[in-house]
Amino acid sequence: MKKRSYVWLIVILLLIPLRTDAEETKINAKYQWNLADIYVSEANFKRDYQAVADALPKLSSYEGKLARASNVAKLFALNERIARKLEKLSLYAHLKQDLNIEDKTAAHLKAQVETLISDYAAKTAFIEPELLSLSERTLAKLQKSKPLKPYRYYFEELRERKKHTLSKREEQLLAKLSPIMSDPENIYNNAARGDYDPPSVRTPDGKTVSLTDENYTKALEHPDRNYRKRAFQTRFQSYETIENTSAATLYASVKADELYAKARKYKSGLDAALSADDVPKQVFTNLISTVNTHLPSLHRYVELRKKALGVDRVHTYDMSVPLVEETIAKKMKFPFETAQSLILEGLKPLGDDYIQNVRRAFEQRWIDVYPRPKKYTGGYNTGAYDTHPFILLNYDGSLDGLLTTAHEIGHAMNSVYTNKTQPYHYSRQSIFTAEVASTANEWLMMDYFLKQAKTDEEKLYLLNQQIDQIRGTLYTQVMYSEFEQAIHDKVRQGGSLTAAELNELWLRLLKKYYGPAYAADPEAARGWLRIPHFYDAFYVYKYATSLAASFELVKQMKADETGEATKRYLQFLRSGTSDDPIRLLQKAGVDMTSPKPLENLLSYFDSLVREMEQLLKKQGRL
């Protein structure tokens, strides 16, 4: 069940466990984080820790006194001082452990901080319920008061939430039910990750491999079609063992979402989810309808794949195999020094100040670059209000590795600009806009590479990358969203969700989205049970809207020789959560309540498919 984060609970987000894998190696220090930028020594860490522990009891002194603006202002100021220190403490402990999961000191520090944050959560638990219990008149008075002027937008959100706040007794009951309503996801995770054992398959060279996520992805990219087919069928047939459990848990999760929405006086689970993000419903409905209108472009791409691969119909196991020779991908290798130069060049349209900040990231050890034993194996950007961003990579020299670097730098620069401009309580990014800054950098880099392509094969490789990026982030996520809407509507109207019904719906959507050149294999019907995001209702549509918003912003910046579009974009990066995400994007120059940004992106997708088609014809491959 999705909930909104508020000022005094923001630190709790840092408790999300970051799996880790790192130990010190002889990698040049300039490619590793300098955690002394957070705390020079553990003595400094302990000093902040003690300061927070000493300050926590003071929070309780304001309980029952929040009808007065002066008391609320003092409480918010105290809370911010505590939260900012807690944020640094949590950041330091987590990053230290992310560099080496076997670091016992890091594990001890992390445990200490988590205990402190738990105490903090308990001490601040009264704040929001007490504010919401105040009359609308009192809240309006607080919002207009001089001491709380910096919190005007926060109170605007709070007053909107009050419309969906229940009596004290009802709120207490919902709070007690909350852990139970999360059980479906926990059961699903245990079944899909704990009880499920990936099957094995024999590779073309005679080896037997377990079809883990990584090996399955490699199998779908293998040139041997029979092997791809065997891997697909083996993997999807194995889901039969958890199919009914997954259907039951998804049904229970959707029922919980709809029950929660009804209890809070929303018309539907969709309305509740959109309200939590301050997003009007037309944004979601425009997304579904606009993408459906442009499905012929996706059908054209599937038809193109069919012809290029020389097959009668395209199956699921034909959708990931590259349409260009593997040698092109192998040639496109970038040492990190080269990647830095290319990123600095590709992001030049964002202006000198932006580039200077990116240089700081490269030169001042904001990035832990290379994989090593016991280091966390993923990639992310994080940080605190009072520190610079920290980017974790496992850089492998590939084009994907370079684009990941640019992506995470986008997140980092968003934080840099926001933290310079906004007060602490508006220093985050809305989930709705969180991926705009990162994907904008990817658009700029791919545009740069496409212009620099020296051969048709390089161009084809890049076109294929760009097409599949849009397909996966826009078309696929919208198909997921359409599936979500259908199952939520059915449950709200009193229907059930069996495995057979979910399979039938999923297969129907696959056929609609991929068109007549696509063969929907019976095994593919179980695709829905591989998507854990469905347990966080109506989340995935935001991947699609962020991509469309960033495309529109980059399009405007490239076309505007006056630099005004870039100024608007940089102002957007400075905005944090100082206003609702739709208004912030509108100020930047893109209106997500209109279908136009989506139509522009989908038209671009169509142009890429047609360009790829022409190049393949030129090579005699169609």
Question: Which of these is catalytic: 87, 243, 258, 408?
Answer: 408
Q: Which residues contact 10 (CB under 8 A, 6 or more apart)?
A: 83, 87, 425, 428
Count each helix (H run) and each strand (E run) in the chain, helices first: 26, 5
Nearest alpha carbon to residue 3 among 187, 179, 193: 179
Is residue 93 a contact partner of residue 113, using CB atoms and an 8 Å limit? yes
Compute CA distances 333 → 244, 398, 400, 562, whole Å: 45, 5, 10, 35
Q: Measure the CA–CA gap between 77 and 54, rounded to whole angstroms.
A: 16
Q: Measure the CA–CA gap between 301 and 299, rounded to whole angstroms.
A: 5
User: What are the residue ranges of helices labelled H in 100-135?
Assistant: 104-124, 127-133
CA 561, distance to chain mean position in Å, is 32
Q: Got the DSSP string for 486-520? A: HHHHHHHTT----HHHHHHHHHHHHHHHH-TTB--
Is residue 425 a contact partner of residue 578, using CB atoms and an 8 Å limit? no
Does residue 325 carry a catalytic annotation?
Answer: no
Q: Measure the CA–CA gap between 552 and 548, rounded to whole angstroms.
A: 6
Q: Got the DSSP string for 318-338? A: GSSS-SS-HHHHHH----HHH
How many residues are present in the chain? 622
Compute CA distances 452 → 197, 448, 498, whole Å: 45, 6, 51
498: which 2 tokens? 């069996």
The CA-based angle 102-105-106, given to 5 degrees, is 70
Is residue 356 a contact partner of residue 328, using CB atoms and an 8 Å limit? no
Q: Which residues contact 271 (CB under 8 A, 6 or more apart)?
A: 261, 281
Q: Measure the CA–CA gap between 226 and 232, rounded to whole angstroms.
A: 10
Q: Give me the active site residues, please.
A: 408
